[in-house]
Amino acid sequence: MRPAGTPPFPGHDDLEQARRAVAAAAVRTPLVRLPLDGPDGAAVYAKAENLQRTGSFKLRGALNFLAALPPATRARGVVTHSSGNHAQGVAFAARHYGVPATIVIPEGAPRVKVEGTRALGAEVVRCENSQAARHGTAERLAHERGATLVPPYDHPWIVAGQATVGLEIAEDLPDVANVLVPIGGGGLAGGMCLALAERAPDARVIGVEPELAADARDSLTSGTRTAWPAADLTRTLADGVRTQSIGELNFAVLRRYLAGVRTVDEASIRRATAWYVERARLVAEPTGALTLAALTHLLDGRGEGPTLAPGPIVVVISGGNVDAELLCRLLEDPET
């Protein structure tokens, strides 16, 4: 049952509308067969959102949100806050629609994501690295400029846009049995659950978090949204999931549909990031490598949480925006 006050889940018509909005400017990313096998020889594929036009799935939600705004409202511009990938998604979507974008990015965000946002024509405003500072700065700027605030993850339009990743997986791999998806604010994981519940209802959706940023695991275990201190989240290399708590709408969706959450250690994240380059010839940021790290745990029988169902496996590479210096260090020695 959905908690009182939670917005309605996006339905079939919402997902179809999102599909059209996303197709107007995003690319349909491929399922790439990876050079490893699951249990009993099951095929393993990567949904390569690192090949999206902004290097991340976040473009999808941003495009759908801006498409849904009345034209006069959209013309006044948009504001958002993000550690980087949502920032680039909103900047790209705003450029696509020819409207101004102001992006609040906390200190400590990867340089490649900050520079990518500016390159797309958005104004970047920096703030302290806390959820309160991010929200407060973005809300103030939106009020001052008469612009619309674009939520990073906790909104039906955003969730429906991210759900298009799941729609494509179901169409390209109808017998998909397992999808591993990273969880930050829960927009992608929630959208994945909704899309597959409709298009591939037998598929098992498994969420993945770092051990050092496991607020979704704690929330789903306790039955109450749980927040982690911002200072604690900086310990993980997976900057894209340093969200202090999952969204209200997304929490309701995940409670209903998600098979559970697997957590992974930092060493596994580093090794998975390096593996993608060396073995699959793909560049994934550490957040994008979370799902491969979790799959290695599942294949080795490590850790606790949901297990794999028999059949094909998809690991979602949520993004590929990684600083070159960090990637070089990981390739030189992924153990440090």
Active-site positions read: 58, 318
C-alpha triplet 317, 321, 322: angle, nearest 5°: 105
Q: What six digits make up the tokens of 108?
A: 């400590």
Q: What six digits make up the tokens of 25?
A: 């400017």
Report yes or no: 47 and 56 within 8 Å, Cβ to Cβ. no
Indicate the DSSP class of residue 161. H
Measured CA to CA, the distance from residue 171 to residue 168 in angstroms comes to 5
Report yes or no: 119 and 98 within 8 Å, Cβ to Cβ. no
Q: What six digits make up the tokens of 241?
A: 């999931």
Measured CA to CA, the distance from residue 139 to residue 133 in angstroms comes to 10
Measured CA to CA, the distance from residue 277 to residue 123 in angstroms comes to 32
Task: Quickly tell me which residue has 């209903």 as its tokens.
Answer: 256
- Tell me how crowded residue 223 is: count the other CB atoms within 10 A of its CB: 9
**What letters, b where the CB count within 10 A reaches 16 and e where it falls short, cover 257-282?**
bbbbbbbbbbebbbbbbbbbbeebeb
SS3 (DSSP) at 56: strand
121 torsion bin: left (phi>0), alpha (psi -120 to 50), beta (else):
left
C-alpha triplet 173, 64, 120: angle, nearest 5°: 105
User: What beta strand segments (E) does 108-231 contain?
Assistant: 123-127, 148-149, 178-182, 204-210
